[in-house]
Structure 1
């Protein structure tokens, strides 16, 4: 008679229950504050039949990414052939997540500054997804992203105290452009208690539709006005028509802003005609075109805010414009995220403007090239120009310490 193998043996039902209970208690029951490294060790050492339950228990009681000090562990639990993560920290280039053998648990560990804030998404079997185990989301130009907040990150005060509704007025207008031979949309924000009895400074905003819908800038600005942090200001939001073409230091678009948008806005609202009361704001290419227009039209604009400005465009030609021209009566506020590929050229522009003697205020954040960053810090930037307690930006300010952003696993 052939001998039975171990796989042919069947345990009595009660013994099966006792074995299952023992395995569950030994491997699946663990403290909620189990360190991530201990979780990985448990997953690897546990019998394979226990690993899915261990992964599911961790997923149920922990958000992704799981943060411990400077370490953030992105993780995913589910059936998949391949899982990647892409975000601000890797310039949106998908990085593969490791799978614990015999389990549905995928993970990737990275180190970040303790006050970092980053956008990211998961790519599961080639399809981009929000992280299903992370309730935090932020709006983006291509849809919402999941958000990582490290332990010491806090929203800037102006953004944290933004209003839910406005008392001011939003006006959606149409400008008949002779330059473009078509109608162009213009959005005006008038502050609370706006009156024709005085004039107001104006901020002309590129990517105006996004600053309205994704950043809610009017909500941030109105909160600052009502708290007395900035003087009342009018926002002139200009949505682009052909963004990449118009914002690439395009002289036709420059004429459109200077010759048509400014006169149109000043017919529609009581705006100060002084250059120091007119500013330009934009993110990325919007920061580039803001700088370009102001440098070529200092008799029209005296203030610039550039968020993550795309100064690298056309080989950094905008830096040559600064080098070859005399200093103009313009004040700059520039910021950039340390996880952006353009941080170095933004620092070069900062240094160049300071050497030329321009009043400049600079900030860099442990963030990336995203609306999550721009919407949070736009209020601070506006306060540097129109704050009630603002100090004139020095023309030779000490430069901030540069931050090492090398990822170490």
Structure 2
């Protein structure tokens, strides 16, 4: 599917729906930033199929989002947040019946984009699965040469300044103990907790790579998918 004319340009995606289900059958919905890479390199779809068979998660439709111009879209770009919540999601939900609020996941910049989408449009998602988020901060991260450094740090600062809960989404965070984003993930989890958000951070062995992200699916992604608030 291509969703044309969004504030972030045309968005390509693939909807993967369980065998034997119909479009009109309401099912939980999971949207994945960098979806094709999650499928190829972290085996997201096969992991979910096994989890469904083992009755660890409900049968779920998965939207694999093509990143397109990834850094421009995912690096705290409010146009992408609007494109995802106001254009892509309504188009998918018009084509496929969904059960409850969808879940949203992403790794690195994809985790940052996931948090921003719900932050700017609270109430859209029931849960967020954020892996090794690029929650860059001044004096913490040595990433000043990154082209969207100021946009990212400005958004992170805005999140940290909030004193009241902004979203009821269940936030599940994972981060490798051997990677550079560990400090800023700890600080983000602390900031969200202080402002009353429902957040859990798990630190696991590994680095900033697909193998480590796949290893964290069980049980943490399953936790996010098992949190089923009503619409």
For Structure 1 versus Structure 2, the TM-score category normalised by the shorter chain is: 0.7 to 0.9
The aligned residue for residue 2 of structure 2 is 174
Task: Mark the CA change 1:254 to 1:197 in structure 2 (over 3 Å): closer, same or farther.
Answer: closer
Report the structure number with the largest CA radius of gyration. 1
The aligned residue for residue 161 of structure 2 is 323
Match of 1:258 among 60, 81, 85: 85
* TM-score normalised by structure 1 residue count: 0.49
- The whole-number CA distance in structure 1 between the counterparts of 2:43 and 2:134 is 22
User: Is 2:35–2:65's contact at 8 Å kept on the other side of the alignment?
Assistant: yes
- The whole-number CA distance in structure 2 between the counterparts of 1:201 and 1:224 is 14
User: Is 2:163–2:194's contact at 8 Å kept on the other side of the alignment?
Assistant: no
How far has the Cα of 1:323 moved from its partner?
Answer: 2.7
The aligned residue for residue 298 of structure 1 is 122
How far has the Cα of 1:210 moved from its partner?
Answer: 0.4
- The whole-number CA distance in structure 1 between the counterparts of 2:121 and 2:172 is 17
User: Is 1:192–1:222's contact at 8 Å kept on the other side of the alignment?
Assistant: no
- Higher mean Cα deviation, 192-201 or 202-211? 192-201
The aligned residue for residue 5 of structure 1 is none
2:88 maps to 1:249: no
Task: Mark the CA change 1:363 to 1:270 in structure 2 (over 3 Å): closer, same or farther.
Answer: same
Higher RCO structure, 1 or 2 (CA under 8 Å, sep 6+): 2
2:100 maps to 1:283: no
- Structure having the higher helix fraction is 2
Aligned length: 214
Match of 2:208 among 369, 384, 405: 369
TM-superposition CA deviations, 1:309-340 (whole Å, max 9, x none): 00015336324324326302111000101111
Match of 1:349 among 170, 181, 188: 188
Q: 3-state SS of the aligned residue for 2:37?
A: helix
User: Is 2:33–2:64's contact at 8 Å kept on the other side of the alignment?
Assistant: yes
* TM-score normalised by structure 2 residue count: 0.84
Structure 1: tracts of 5 or more residues without a match: 1-172, 393-409
Match of 2:26 among 187, 199, 209: 199
User: Is 2:13–2:63's contact at 8 Å kept on the other side of the alignment?
Assistant: yes
How far has the Cα of 1:297 moved from its partner?
Answer: 1.2
User: Is 2:13–2:65's contact at 8 Å kept on the other side of the alignment?
Assistant: yes
- The whole-number CA distance in structure 2 between the counterparts of 1:214 and 1:232 is 22
Structure 2: tracts of 5 or more residues without a match: 137-148
- The whole-number CA distance in structure 1 between the counterparts of 2:158 and 2:6 is 31
